[in-house]
C-alpha cells in the first residue's frame, strides 16, 4: 500500500481542477494542494459565455466559480497566469514555464481543451478574453459568418441574431449539430435558426478566409462560393490540451488515456475535457467536453486519490440554449443512433427522443422538456424495444 498523499498538484484551474480541489477538502483532505492555471483569472464558468441570456458580455463576477471565501476555505497554493510546461513522471514533479518545480505525490491533469483554429483572422471562443473580443465584434459588425454548425456555432448564431447582427453559418455537414443530435433534431434546429433569420450554407468546407477588420473579410468555400462579411467566427471543435505532456511518457490518444479510475499512471489522474477514460457503463473509452462531466470527474478523481478506488461510470449530461429552445441530453448520442420519438408536448412543441445503438438505449434528448427528460434518464441502458412498447402504451 502506498501511503496517503500529502502533496497534490492540479494542473488546469477551471471547472474540473476546481471541482477536484473542492471534493478533496469536502472529503477531509488536509494536505497541500497546488492549483496551477495558465489563465490569469481565478476559475470561471464557460457555458454562460455563449448563451443568449446574457445580452451583455459576461464579466468575471458573473461567471466566477468560487468566491474569495470559498477559495480561502480551499487553502490552495494558487498559481495563476502560469502554465505547466512539463510533467516529470519519474521525478514526481511538474515544471512551470517560470522554471519552478512543484513536487507532488498525486497529480491531476485538468488542462481541458482548446479550439481548433483556421488560417486567417477567424475568432474562436473559449476564454473570457475571447468573449470580450466577440462581444466587441458583434457590436461593430452588421454581418458575421460563423464557420461550424456544431453546438457552439449554433449558440453563437443565436447570440448574434439576438444582438441584431445578420448571420451566415457554413458547415460541410448537411445540417446543424447533425453528428451530435441526429436528423430529427437537426431539422428542428435548422428551422428554428432560419425562423430567426440565419442563413445556412451546408455541404461545403471553407477553403480560405481573407481580409481584415477594417475592410471586411471574404470567405471562400470548396464549391467556389465567395462570401463577403464583416467578421468571421470559427467554431469547428476543440482538441485536448496535451502539448505540455508530449515527453511525459503518458499515453496521449484523444486526450490523456486513462483507465476506469481516471488514472493515467500510478498517482496521475485526469479529469474534464482532457480525459479519455474507460466508462464501464458504456463499455468504451470516452472523452466528454461537457460542463457537468468536469465537475463529476473532478469529484471522482478526488475520491480515488484518497483511496476510494471507485470506477467513474456516469451518464453524461449536456445542455444547449438557443433562442427559447432548451436542449438537454442524458447519455451518449450521435447521428448514427436509431431515434425513437417517445413523448411530445402539444402546448410548447417540446419532445423527448430516445437514441439507441445495437438495441440498447444509449441516450435521451429533450427539447423544452426538462422535467419529462429527467425521468427519461432512467431509460439509458434499457432495451430499445421494451422502451418503445412501454411508451406506445402510455
Contacting residues toward ligand FAD, per CB under 6 A: 11-17, 36-39, 46-47, 49-50, 83-84, 110-113, 125-126, 152, 241, 244, 272-273, 289-292, 294, 318-320
DSSP state letter for 359: T
DSSP state letter for 98: T
Of 21-29, 98-106, 186-194, 241-249, the segment contacting other proteins by CB under 8 A is 21-29
Region for 343 from its dihedrals, namely left if φ exceeds 0, alpha if ψ lies in -120 to 50, beta otherwise: beta
Cβ distance to other proteins smaller for residue 45 or 339: 45
Alpha-carbon distance of 198 to 142, in angstroms, equals 13
Partner from other proteins, ligand FAD, none contacting 70, C-beta within 5 to 8 A by type? none
Of 133-141, 159-167, 317-325, 331-339, the segment contacting other proteins by CB under 8 A is 317-325
Residue written as grid cell 497529480: 107
313 part of the interface to other proteins, by CB under 8 A: no
Q: How far is the CB of 42 from ligand FAD (least distance, A)?
A: 10
Partner from other proteins, ligand FAD, none contacting 185, C-beta within 5 to 8 A by type? none
DSSP-derived pairing of the beta strands 284-286 and 216-221: unpaired
The grid coordinates of residue 101 equal 518545480
Partner from other proteins, ligand FAD, none contacting 296, C-beta within 5 to 8 A by type? other proteins
Which residues between 338 and 357 bind other proteins (CB under 8 A)? 348
Query: With contact defined as beta carbons under 8 Å apart, do 331 and 182 qualify?
Result: no
Half-sphere CA count of 171, side-chain side, radius 13 A: 24
Partner from other proteins, ligand FAD, none contacting 110, C-beta within 5 to 8 A by type? ligand FAD
Angle at 348 between CA 346 and CA 354, to 5 degrees: 75
158 part of the interface to other proteins, by CB under 8 A: no
Query: With contact defined as beta carbons under 8 Å apart, do 268 and 107 qualify?
Result: yes
DSSP-derived pairing of the beta strands 143-147 and 231-234: parallel
Q: Write out the H or E segment, with its range, that includes residue 387.
A: helix 384-393
Helix, strand, coil % over all residues of the chain, rounded to 5: 30, 35, 40
User: Which phi and psi angles does 297 have, rounded to 5°?
Assistant: -70, -35
Of 188-196, 262-270, 313-321, 352-360, the segment contacting other proteins by CB under 8 A is 313-321
Reference 60, options 74, 72, 42; nearest CA is: 42
- List the one residue from 370, 381, 385, 390 that touches other proteins (CB under 8 A): 370
Cβ distance to ligand FAD smaller for residue 92 or 126: 126
Partner from ligand FAD, other proteins, none contacting 186, C-beta within 5 to 8 A by type? none
Q: How far is the CB of 70 from other proteins (least distance, A)?
A: 10
297 part of the interface to other proteins, by CB under 8 A: no
Of 4-12, 116-124, 200-208, 288-296, the segment contacting other proteins by CB under 8 A is 288-296
73 part of the interface to other proteins, by CB under 8 A: no
In sequence order, what are the residues at sequence separation of 6 or more whose Cβ sits closer than 8 angstroms to the Cβ of residue 264? 109, 250, 251, 256, 257, 258, 270
DSSP-derived pairing of the beta strands 77-80 and 84-88: unpaired
24 part of the interface to other proteins, by CB under 8 A: no
Residues in contact with other proteins by the rule CB under 8 A: 19, 22-23, 26, 45, 47, 53, 65, 291-292, 295-296, 299, 317, 319, 321, 326, 328, 348, 368-371, 373-374
Amino acid at each position: 500500500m502506498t501511503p496517503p498523499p500529502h502533496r497534490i498538484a492540479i494542473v488546469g484551474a477551471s471547472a474540473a481542477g476546481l471541482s477536484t480541489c473542492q471534493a478533496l477538502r469536502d472529503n477531509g483532505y488536509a494536505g497541500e494542494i497546488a492549483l496551477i492555471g495558465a489563465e490569469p483569472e481565478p476559475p470561471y464558468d464557460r457555458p454562460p459565455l455563449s448563451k443568449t441570456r446574457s445580452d451583455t458580455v459576461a464579466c468575471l463576477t458573473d461567471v466566477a466559480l468560487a468566491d474569495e471565501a470559498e477559495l480561502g476555505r480551499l487553502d490552495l497554493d494558487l498559481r495563476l497566469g502560469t502554465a505547466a510546461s512539463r510533467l516529470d513522471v519519474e521525478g514526481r514533479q511538474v515544471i512551470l514555464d517560470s522554471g519552478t518545480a512543484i513536487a507532488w505525490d498525486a497529480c491531476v491533469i485538468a488542462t481541458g481543451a482548446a479550439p481548433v483554429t483556421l488560417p486567417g483572422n477567424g475568432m474562436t471562443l473559449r476564454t473570457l478574453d475571447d468573449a470580450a473580443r466577440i462581444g466587441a465584434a458583434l457590436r461593430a459588425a452588421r454581418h458575421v459568418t460563423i464557420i461550424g454548425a456544431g453546438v457552439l456555432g449554433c449558440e453563437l448564431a443565436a447570440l448574434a441574431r439576438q444582438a441584431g447582427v445578420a448571420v451566415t453559418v457554413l458547415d460541410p455537414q448537411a445540417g446543424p449539430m447533425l453528428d451530435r443530435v441526429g436528423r430529427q433534431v437537426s431539422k428542428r434546429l435548422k428551422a428554428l435558426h432560419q425562423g430567426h433569420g440565419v442563413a445556412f450554407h451546408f455541404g461545403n468546407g471553407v477553403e480560405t478566409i481573407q481580409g481584415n477588420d477594417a475592410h471586411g473579410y471574404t470567405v471562400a468555400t470548396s464549391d467556389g462560393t465567395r462570401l463577403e462579411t464583416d467578421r468571421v467566427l470559427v467554431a469547428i471543435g476543440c482538441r485536448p490540451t496535451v502539448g505540455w505532456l508530449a515527453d511525459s511518457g503518458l499515453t496521449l490518444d484523444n486526450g490523456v488515456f486513462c483507465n476506469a479510475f481516471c488514472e493515467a499512471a500510478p498517482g496521475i489522474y485526469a479529469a474534464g475535457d482532457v480525459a479519455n477514460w474507460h466508462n464501464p457503463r458504456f463499455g468504451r473509452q470516452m472523452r466528454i467536453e461537457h460542463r457537468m462531466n468536469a465537475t463529476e470527474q473532478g469529484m471522482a478523481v478526488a475520491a480515488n486519490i484518497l483511496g476510494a478506488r471507485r470506477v467513474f461510470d456516469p451518464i453524461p449530461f449536456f445542455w444547449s440554449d438557443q433562442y427559447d429552445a432548451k436542449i438537454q441530453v442524458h447519455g451518449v448520442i450521435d447521428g448514427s443512433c436509431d431515434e425513437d420519438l417517445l413523448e411530445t408536448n402539444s402546448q410548447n412543441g417540446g419532445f423527448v427522443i430516445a437514441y439507441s445503438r445495437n438495441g440498447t438505449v444509449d441516450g435521451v434528448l429533450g427539447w423544452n422538456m426538462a422535467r419529462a427528460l429527467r425521468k427519461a434518464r432512467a431509460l439509458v441502458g434499457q432495451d430499445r424495444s421494451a422502451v418503445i412498447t412501454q411508451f406506445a402504451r402510455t
